[in-house]
A = this chain, B = another copy of it.
C-alpha cells in the first residue's frame, strides 16, 4: 500500500493524495473526503522513511537519560514518552552511562538520528557550559536549572536546587538537629550536587550557624554507594543526629546502614531524602523528602521543546515548585 495505490484507486494524482494526507489547504473538501475514505478502509499509513527522506528531517525528538534509570527518572521518562507519543513526533530514548559525556552522545545521536530536538535528563550543567556549543538543535535540560547557562537553544526545566536543599536542612534544624550529615555527589563534577550543597550552607547560615564540610559525604546516586557512604559517615561522626540524602534512593541505602549500625530511624538518626518518589511514603518509617514535580517537569520540558522547534521560541528557564513532604523518618529532639 503506497500513495500511488491510493492515487490509482481514487483517480487523483499522487500529489493530490499527498496534499490530502497532510491536509494542505489547496485541496477541496470533497476530494479530501474521498481520499480519506479510501485511506481509512485500507488502513494506509504513509511510509515514514520516504517522508523523512524527502523533507530532510526526522520529525522526532530524542531523550537522553544519564545514569541509571532510578524510579524518579523512570516516571519522568515514561511521562515524556506518552506526551510525545500523543503528538505526531516520534521519540527515541537513549540511556547513557553515569560517567559518559552527554554532549558527545548528543552529537552522535544528532548525526545518526537527526532528531529535531533533545531533552536531557540527568545531564550535568558543567559539561554543557564547556561543550554544548556544538549542538545546534533546540534542547531542554530537565531536572536541572542554572543561572549561569546561556545558550540560544538550551532551555532548563526544574526546581531551584539551592532553595530546595535549604528547605530540607531548615526542616531538620527546626526539629532541633544541628549535627547533620549530608550525602551527595561529587561537587566538583555534579552541578546539582554543588547547588544542593550550597542550599545546605544557606540553611545553616540563615540561623547563624555554619555547615561543617566534614559532615558532607560524597557518594553516587545509588543504593549501594549511599549505603557504604553512610557507614563511613557514621563511623567518622559519632554525634550526627540527622542525615540528608540528595535522593530518595540514597536514603533507602542510608536507612539500611543506620540500621546495621544498631541505630534507629528516627529515634537515633533522622533521615531526609530528595525527589519525592512514591515508594518513600510507603516505607517504614515513611520518608521525609523534598518532592520534585516529576509529571510537571515532563510536561513543561516537552511543551518547551516543541515550542522551541515549531515556533522558534527563545530559550528560557522554567522554575517549578518543590514541596517539603513530612515523614516519620524525621524526629524532633
- Say yes or no: B68 contacts A71, CB within 8 Å: no
Q: Is A147 part of the binding interface, using a Cβ–Cβ cutoff of 8 Å?
A: no
Known: A111-B43, A256-B284, A284-B259. A81 touches B95 (CB 8 A): yes
Q: Which residue of B lies closest to A54 (CB)?
A: B49
With both chains docked as a complex, state the minimum distance between the C-beta of A21 and any C-beta of chain B, in angstroms.
Answer: 14
Known: A78-B68, A82-B95, A111-B45. A282 touches B227 (CB 8 A): yes
- Say yes or no: B284 contacts A255, CB within 8 Å: yes
Q: Is A69 part of the binding interface, using a Cβ–Cβ cutoff of 8 Å?
A: yes
Chain B residues whose CB sits within 8 angstroms of the CB of A214 once the complex forms:
none
Residue total for A at the interface (Cβ-Cβ under 8 A):
42
- Say yes or no: B95 contacts A48, CB within 8 Å: no
Chain B residues whose CB sits within 8 angstroms of the CB of A189 once the complex forms:
none
Chain B residues whose CB sits within 8 angstroms of the CB of A173 once the complex forms:
none
Q: Is A210 part of the binding interface, using a Cβ–Cβ cutoff of 8 Å?
A: no
How many copies of this protein are present in the complex?
Answer: 2
CA distance A112 to B50 in the complex (A): 12
CA distance A77 to B255 in the complex (A): 28
- Say yes or no: B48 contacts A112, CB within 8 Å: yes
- Say yes or no: B45 contacts A53, CB within 8 Å: no
Known: A45-B112, A49-B53, A113-B48. A282 touches B78 (CB 8 A): no
Q: Is A252 part of the binding interface, using a Cβ–Cβ cutoff of 8 Å?
A: yes
CA distance A71 to B78 in the complex (A): 13
With both chains docked as a complex, state the minimum distance between the C-beta of A286 and any C-beta of chain B, in angstroms.
Answer: 8
CA distance A52 to B50 in the complex (A): 9
CA distance A49 to B85 in the complex (A): 20
- Say yes or no: B111 contacts A252, CB within 8 Å: no
- Told that A69-B77, A223-B278, A252-B279 touch, could you supply 10 new A-B pairs with CB distance under 8 A? A48-B49, A71-B71, A81-B95, A224-B278, A249-B279, A253-B282, A256-B283, A256-B284, A259-B284, A284-B284
| Interface pairs (25), CB distance under 8 Å | A45-B111, A48-B112, A49-B50, A49-B52, A49-B53, A49-B58, A50-B53, A68-B78, A69-B78, A71-B71, A71-B74, A74-B74, A82-B95, A90-B92, A224-B278, A249-B279, A252-B279, A252-B282, A252-B283, A255-B282, A255-B284, A256-B282, A256-B284, A279-B279, A283-B283
9 closest A-B pairs by beta carbon, nearest first, are A49-B53, A256-B282, A49-B49, A49-B52, A259-B284, A45-B111, A69-B74, A74-B74, A69-B78
